[in-house]
Amino acid sequence: DVKVTQSSRYLVKRTGEKVFLECVQDMDHENMFWYRQDPGLGLRLIYFSYDVKMKEKGDIPEGYSVSREKKERFSLILESASTNQTSMYLCASSTGLAGGRETQYFGPGTRLLVL
Amino acid sequence: SQQGEEDPQALSIQEGENATMNCSYKTSINNLQWYRQNSGRGLVHLILIRSNEREKHSGRLRVTLDTSKKSSSLLITASRAADTASYFCATEGMSGYSTLTFGKGTMLLVSP
């Protein structure tokens, strides 16, 4: 079974702090994704990566950056946390194979509260 | 945004009844997928239907896709209390990257 783990289930940070959210997958997947989930807005893609050191902006990249130094690990960085970044953050991975049959495997999520 | 829309936003039924959720989307797709999310947890993939398919079954799940209407439906037959969750449709576009665009979800409550 694919396992995607996230470093924290719950996190409380203060405005202006630098925040790191870590995600690790154990299935040698090429693609990794970061989403945020807010009530009434569903999941929105922040950034994704299709290879080590490669990154692409999603729909809402402002205020975030990412790092992928190793294939299994994808980090989301909030350079200076703000209260409007309080949210549930979900990491996912997928194989990266062509053919229109990609499914994503999700981690359990990190609930971030910025005070 | 090309976000899809699920309908209804919330659905409450009794165990044993069928649950039907609908999804509409805006652009051409490679495939459409349905995911389930139990309260406060990550999403779990349920079923994928490709753009050239019209219907697909998996256990108690039946998915239909109408690309001319840009819509899909998920039917859960003989619902159980354990089916209580939020259900999301997600579409893979044709951009070349395997990214998904998620809808806002339908919250299903199945009462014993």
The pLDDT-based confidence of A2 (bands split at 50, 70, 90) is: low
The pLDDT-based confidence of A113 (bands split at 50, 70, 90) is: very high
Q: What is the DSSP string of A5-72?
A: EES-SEEEE-TT--EEEEEEESS--SEEEEEEEETTTEEEEEEEESSTT--EE-S--TTEEEEEEETT
pLDDT for res A98: 62
Q: Find the mean pLDDT for residues A97-112.
A: 84
Q: How many alpha carbons fall within 13 Å on the CB side of residue B102? A: 29
pLDDT for res B6: 85
Across A57-71, A81-95, B43-57, B90-104, least confident range: B90-104
Instruction: Please name the residues in contact with A82: beta carbons below 8 A apart, sequence gap of 6 or more.
Output: A15, A63, A114
pLDDT for res A66: 97
pLDDT tens figures, B72-81 = 999 999 999 9
pLDDT for res B7: 87
Q: Find the mean pLDDT for residues A34-62.
A: 93
Q: Which residues of B touch A90 (CB under 8 A)?
A: 42-43
Residue position matching structure tokens 């690990």? A73
Whether residue A92 and residue B43 make contact (CB cut-off 8 A), yes or no, is yes
Whether residue B43 and residue A90 make contact (CB cut-off 8 A), yes or no, is yes
Q: Which residues of A touch B48 (CB under 8 A)?
A: 101, 103
Per CB distance under 8 Å, which residues of A are interface residues toward B?
Answer: 4, 31, 33, 35, 40-45, 48, 50, 56, 58-59, 88, 90, 92, 94, 96, 100-109, 111
Q: Please determine, for residue A106, whether its predicted confidence score (pLDDT) is greater than 70.
A: yes
Q: Find the mean pLDDT for residues A6-16.
A: 96
Q: Please determine, for residue A36, whether its predicted confidence score (pLDDT) is greater than 60.
A: yes
Number of neighbours of residue A99 by Cβ within 10 angstroms? 10
The CA distance from B82 to A29, in Å, is 30
CB-based contact (8 Å) between B56 and chain A?
no
**Which of A45, A90, A96 has its CB closest to that of B42?**
A90
Instruction: Assign A85 to helix, strand or coil.
Output: helix
Q: Which residues of A touch B1 (CB under 8 A)?
A: 44, 59
What is the chain A residue with the closest CA to B46? A103
Q: Please determine, for residue A97, whether its predicted confidence score (pLDDT) is greater than 80.
A: no
Burial, B108: exposed, middle or buried (Cβ in 10 Å; 0-12, 13-18, 19+)?
buried
Q: Find the mean pLDDT for residues A50-79.
A: 95
pLDDT for res B3: 61
Instruction: Please name the residues in contact with B51: beta carbons below 8 A apart, sequence gap of 6 or more.
Output: A100, B28, B29, B30, B31, B32, B65, B67
Question: Which ranges of chain B have pLDDT less than 70?
Answer: 1-3
Retrieve residue A53's tokens: 């050191």
CB-based contact (8 Å) between B100 and chain A?
yes
